[in-house]
Structure formats: C-alpha cells, structure tokens
Amino acid sequence: MIDTVPTPERPIVPSPTPTPTNPSPPTNKTTPTAEATVGPNRATTAPTSTAPKLRTATASGGQAMFYYTAGQVDLLDLSPCYGYSYEAYRLENDYIVVRFVGYGHVSTIYAYWSKSRQPTLSVYEEDY
C-alpha cells in the first residue's frame, strides 16, 4: 500500500515581511552644523615679565645661561674660559650669582628678577 501525502489546496507561500508604518527619512537631508560667530578676541596672555625667558651673560671669565620663569631663575649652563674656575650660588629662588675666578681677575654675574619684575643680568669685572 502506498501512502499518499495530501496536497494542500493552496500552495505554501512565505509570509511577506512587514513594512514599517513610518516612512524612512529622505536620503538627501543635510545635518546641521555648529555656526561660529565673530567677536572680539577675549584670550589673554601673560605679561611679558612673567613669560619664560632665556638669557645669556658673557663676561671675561666665561659665559652663563639662565632660564627665567615666574618668580624663579635657574642656571642652565656654564662655560668658563681657559684658566678660570667657577662658583655658582642660589641666594633666593629669584636670585643666582655666578663667579668666574682666574689669576688676578674675577667676573661676577648676577641673575635675578628686578623690583619691576623684569629678568635682569648684571656683570661685574674685578682685577686684584
């Protein structure tokens, strides 16, 4: 005996995918961007007296390089001339003294912030 499979009266068709009820946005829509307005420059800069500065002092006994920042002086480099030795002292955060000592001569460099808050270098040459 042969079993037969009944055939449906209607063919089986997959159900259609549902369509969204909201229409999709148009593809040529532009995105808003931020707008810049022109106005006065409100940026402030530090006064020139407190901006970092690099200063070099040259004396008969050698050369010294200093870096000035707000309220402080730092010694970056020393180069004594031939026959000279050096001494360096920090008297305060804003005051450094460098001495180049040679036979019969002393060169002294003072690096400091002045009372008017300006980076200052003073060089003194002494024979003895």
Work out how many domains the chain is built from and give that number: 1
Q: Is residue 18 part of a domain?
A: no
Average pLDDT, stretch 47-52? 59
Residues 61-114 pLDDT 10s: 999 999 999 889 999 999 999 999 999 999 999 999 999 999 999 999 999 999
Q: Is residue 25 part of a domain?
A: no
Q: Is residue 103 part of a domain?
A: yes
Does the pLDDT at position 7 exceed 70?
A: no
Does the pLDDT at position 17 exceed 80?
A: no
Average pLDDT, stretch 103-126? 95
pLDDT at 2: 55
Q: Which domain holds residue 117?
A: 53-127
Q: Is residue 101 part of a domain?
A: yes
Q: Is residue 37 part of a domain?
A: no
Average pLDDT, stretch 19-45? 47
Q: Is residue 102 part of a domain?
A: yes
* 96 exposure class (CB count in 10 Å sphere: 0-12, 13-18, 19+): buried
Task: Give the pairing of strands 95-102 and 105-113.
Answer: antiparallel
**Taken in order 30, 33, 38, 39, is the CA torsion positive or negative?**
positive
Residues 24-34 pLDDT 10s: 555 554 444 43
pLDDT at 71: 86
Q: Is residue 20 part of a domain?
A: no
Q: Is residue 1 part of a domain?
A: no
